[in-house]
Amino acid sequence: MRSTYRLAWNRRSLELGRRTCIMGIVNVTPDSFSDGGRFLNHGAAVEQGLRLAAEGADILDIGGESTRPFSDPVSTETELSRVIPVIEALAREISIPISIDTMKAAVAEAALAAGASIVNDVSALRYDPDLAATVARAGVPLVLMHMLGTPKTMQQAPHYDDLFGEIEDFLAAAMERARSAGIRRDLLIIDPGIGFGKTVSHNLALIQGVRRLAALDAPVLIGPSRKAFIRRLLSDDPATPLSPDDPDVVHGTVAAATAAILSGAHLIRVHEVAPARAAARIADALIAEDSEVTSDE
């Protein structure tokens, strides 16, 4: 069984749980770990967004600042120059929601004005004290992600005494920050942060144990796409991960996404939408079948 949620805001709505929601990634950056530079040109980024929407994405997630391990932050002006033209162009062409992947209030506010309608904050409202108020005023959904430290430090020997307990406490505190700022609880989405301050074992445990976050009573987003743990597991030498562009990495991503869905994930964030959508349909059918068997019993 998978819990169900309905997010409704500003004449938009998302039904989560009856089927898996696919979030397609468009990185408008020169240095993202996977596709850095491929879509830095605005035209290429828009074309990619349109392709992902045509393949069945339910949401497009547009980002202008890399949060790969050991990355450095960029200025607000740089981030704005990357994402706003892309959001404006896509908003004129597609009807699905556009998410802005940012930690900065100024970027979120401009992106929402340009046509975005979701904010995806990997800092969980810890980076910019003004972001919560910006989201509250807009009345839009907010993704709160767990990260150990910062992108610069998160993969420096990550350690947990209680993986699920610490992540649950972190996300509960983030949800309380959001609620205290006036953000509706029913518009919050949580993300345990696959690859953000996690070892291979941590990531596998999180994918297997999505339902252990059920006490937070919020839809769960899992973002396994092309992450290093997949590339290490698929490599003959784990010390030398496969390239993110290796074709096998797509298959590994689909496998991880399917496992996460069967473990209770509501949203999957991926670079390749078409294979993820196909896998999600099978996983959703298995979940529905399991629900019918359980109710018959």
Name the residues annotated as catalytic: 227, 269
CA atoms within 13 Å, Cβ hemisphere of 161: 1
Cβ-in-10-Å burial (0-12, 13-18, 19+) of 54 comes to exposed
Q: Which residue has the tokens 């910062």?
A: 150
Strands of the sheet with 21-27, listed across from one edge: 188-191, 142-145, 118-121, 98-101, 59-63, 21-27, 267-270, 221-222
CA distance 280 to 282: 5
Q: Using N-to-C axis directions, what is the helix angle for 131-138 and 163-180, rounded to 10°?
A: 60
Taking 3-state DSSP, the helix, strand and coil percentages for the chain, each rounded to the nearest 5, stand at 45, 15, 40
CA 231 remoteness from chain centre: 19
| Collapsed DSSP state (helix, strand, coil) of residue 54 | helix
DSSP states of 256-296: HHHHHHHTT-SEEEES-HHHHHHHHHHHHHHHHHHHHHHHH
Q: Using N-to-C axis directions, what is the helix angle for 76-93 and 105-114, rounded to 10°?
A: 20
Task: Name the residue among 232, 236, 274 with its Cα closest to residue 249.
Answer: 232
